[in-house]
Each structure stands twice: as C-alpha cells, then as structure tokens.
Amino acid sequence: MRQPTRRIVTGHDLDGRANIQHDTELQFQDIPGMAGAFAAPLWVSNGLPTTDNNIDEDGALRPVDGIVHQGGTNFRATDLGPGKMTPMHRTNSLDYNILLEGELELIMEDGSRTHLKAPGDSVVMRGGMHAWRNPSDSAWTRWTTVVIPAEPVMVAGQVLAAETKD
C-alpha cells in the first residue's frame, strides 16, 4: 500500500484574504499502456511553451531577480531550519510546492494553518499571502517549488500586489 499524498490548493475569499480552497488526497489512476504505473493530476495551467529543450546551457546558472523569473519558470529547493519561519509574502506567480522531507506548516493570511507531514504532500499556491514554518524543534525541512510567473490576483476589481510583510 502506497502512502497517501495530499494536494492543498490556495485561493482567496471575497474580501481578498488568502485561504485554503482544497485539501484532498491524490487519486491515482492507471496510466494506459504502462502496467504498474499510476498518475494523479496535481494542477494543469494554460500558457507557455518553453524553449529550454533546445538550449544546452545549465538553467540552474541563470540569474533570477527575487523568486519569480519573468518570462520563464524557477524550479528551486528550499531548506528551513528547526523552528524557523519565512516572512508573510505574496508573489505574482503560480507555485507548485512539494514536501520532500521533514514537516512544514503553511500559514495563510486568513490565519489558517495547514500541516504537511508526508513526503509528496503538495501545495498549489495561487498568489496568496502566506508564510512557511518548520514546526519541528530538531529536524530540518526541505521542499521543492516550481515558480511560474502569473498575472496579479484580482478580487472585486482590486489587484493584490506582490509584497512581503515583516
């Protein structure tokens, strides 16, 4: 029996506060023509394509100004020490976050907290104000993120700008 994996998707309430919209266990399905292989959709977005398949340079060496790489994606790994927390922040991006090891707590602008406990637990962050916290007092946390530039979130005709709060 494979370990269950969660998918958490963020959004916004009618007042523009970031929140959790979905928190579900992945439903794996057989992949036709591939006996013993299974897949579960996490998120599909519109847009692109990239030209990277035709460029021989090491993409990890490209400079990125901040977190969001305008005109491309940013695939990164993050380590967070025991008891440490990031500042609350919002980026103009669609982010795919996947827990690799340790535990991680997602703190949303509306005050909700979602505890990621199993490797593979995933969060689709859709431009929401949020912070990450390592709830352990002894173990490090590692997760990967694919950051994709996106239009700023609009709620009730108001743009929610990228920002970091102290």
Residue 55: what residue type? I
Which tens digits make up the pLDDT trace of 94-103?
999 999 999 9
Q: How many residues does the chain have?
A: 166
Q: What is the mean pLDDT of residues 109-136?
A: 96
Evaluate whether residue 36 is within a structural domain.
Answer: no
Evaluate whether residue 61 is within a structural domain.
Answer: no
* Whether 81 contacts 140, CB under 8 Å: yes
Question: What is the value of pTM for the model shown?
Answer: 0.86
Evaluate whether residue 150 is within a structural domain.
Answer: yes
Q: Which distant-in-sequence residues (6+ apart) come within 8 Å of 150 by Cβ?
A: 92, 93, 94, 126, 127
Which tens digits make up the pLDDT trace of 54-77?
777 778 888 888 888 888 889 999
CATH assignment at residue 75: 2.60.120.10
Question: pLDDT tier at 138 (50, 70, 90 boundaries)?
Answer: very high
* Whether 139 contacts 117, CB under 8 Å: no
Q: What is the mean pLDDT of residues 78-90?
A: 93
Which tens digits make up the pLDDT trace of 19-60?
999 999 988 888 788 787 877 877 777 777 777 777 777 788
Evaluate whether residue 159 is within a structural domain.
Answer: yes
Domain that holds residue 121: 6-27+66-165
Residue the block writes with tokens 């969001």: 68
Evaluate whether residue 15 is within a structural domain.
Answer: yes
Neighbours of 163 (CB within 10 A): 11
pLDDT of residue 12: 94
Number of domains in the chain: 1
pLDDT of residue 154: 95
Phi-psi domain of 102 (left: phi exceeds 0; alpha: psi -120 through 50; beta: other): left
